[in-house]
Structure 1
């Protein structure tokens, strides 16, 4: 999953905005996880408190008579702890607040006091603990994220520090976020493993919605027994193949192509599960007259090989799966030894 981490200045002037947060979530996509370090919420609350105090002072110093302009009534500023609570309560569902452990707090304070790492001096005041906590959040999420981690920050120093993690990018807003997402491509081996994990769920849901998992109508299906392609016994043919449940999806020879917003993978897919075939048998019902009978046969002890194209969205979530060639229904021959020839992939991309 893609992870988006917000720094304090990911919001304009460091002020929390629910509408701006909603826009960022929309830009990231439904498959992205948004994480906010707890210290960032504290800073947003402190900035809101300071801004409101300044507004109170401005209104208090107003010397315009009420006869000319009615005096503005400003609500008293709540305690900062209350502002922290209000921000946390207003966060959209699914947004996570990252709370550092005691070791992370210790290291953050150490960096600020000893002026190491994130520690720096601004206007003769030592700072840097909050940046160290944000960086600790980046490191923590980077270690477990399947996809890219994007930190939204305008802090150049924090950007440089976060860049040492290979799967971390940085951006400064919704537009930059999309650009950062496009720069990351997961390792092909990782994508292949994830496809094997995710395809059964994705395709089984498709069967529930559309009464099919994979469509074989465009390129068709042939049958193979052992290592030999064969026709069915007698005058019979496979009229239709339908997979109603996928239990295992094996992926081989995955190739990934990224071109702008397009993310496409070409792969070999072997499917095990509930496989049903409609078998049509032709027979002579009278001299010169041919009839046909249809029978549904369970091929669930066999498997299907087919080449596919996978399209992902910007967060590397499966968007579509299409067959790219003729599928092969492989009838397992119990008497045939499972050597390399028996296990070879049968299907080919249609020229």
Structure 2
């Protein structure tokens, strides 16, 4: 059975603060560690009222410092917003503080609008330089004897920090394959090209010093509760979140509603249904069945779940149900292997 991991955007819910959101992230990470999740990744977004993880490297340090064994990383760092040297130094520092526990996932999108992106870098973001920036970043982690470069990342040089390529299109799949790096697909909000991207990544993969065989991680929203009805109700918070973004009015995560169709027209909801189609919403039985289908469909090496839920305790309950599903599927696999 494959490992399960957690993706967190440190949601700031209506009426609450970034302080509470970050404290909740640490609490959720500690909960995930106890439940046996493999990784806890945090995502970089900017100018978003409902997301507290903009300073992603700082939050990673906070979470890693409050946990003991779970891997902590970025899902991802939006590299066009930063110089590769700065990211190499930040993650070199994190790896030096928490050795063997840090992951560096890299994305090509700015994670914001163009005006915000310019404010971050004081220049126009050039996503076309992403492959060169990735190569430069990888080079900063090489031993000095292998590079002989004048500019060095300290800390960073000579450290083993797994670098992942993240994406929601064929572009990232091709780059990860050519560089021989692990690949994570953002199917939790952009599932349209998932299967094609996985095929491209696996078929074009070239072994590298980083990885000998392709390793693909697939993302899914998991909103689980004791009943299907309650899970569907909890799911309305993330539906509202995406609807507000589409209207250009991003805001803090809103509380769930009993019937979302009373608040939003069908034509808007139809567009959101496609965006969020890679979501597992339901009771423990429903979640177990749907996760089994996703694993069978994608042949993923790892599954990373996002739990976009308004209430923190309900969020913890949701990933606990996901862990139960993982354990049940593992037991089924073990029985089948014996038989």
Identify the structure with bigger relative contact order (alpha carbons < 8 Å, sequence gap 6+).
2
- How high is the TM-score relative to the length of structure 2? 0.29
- Considering fraction of residues, name the structure with more helix: 2
- Considering fraction of residues, name the structure with more strand: 1
- How high is the TM-score relative to the length of structure 1? 0.28
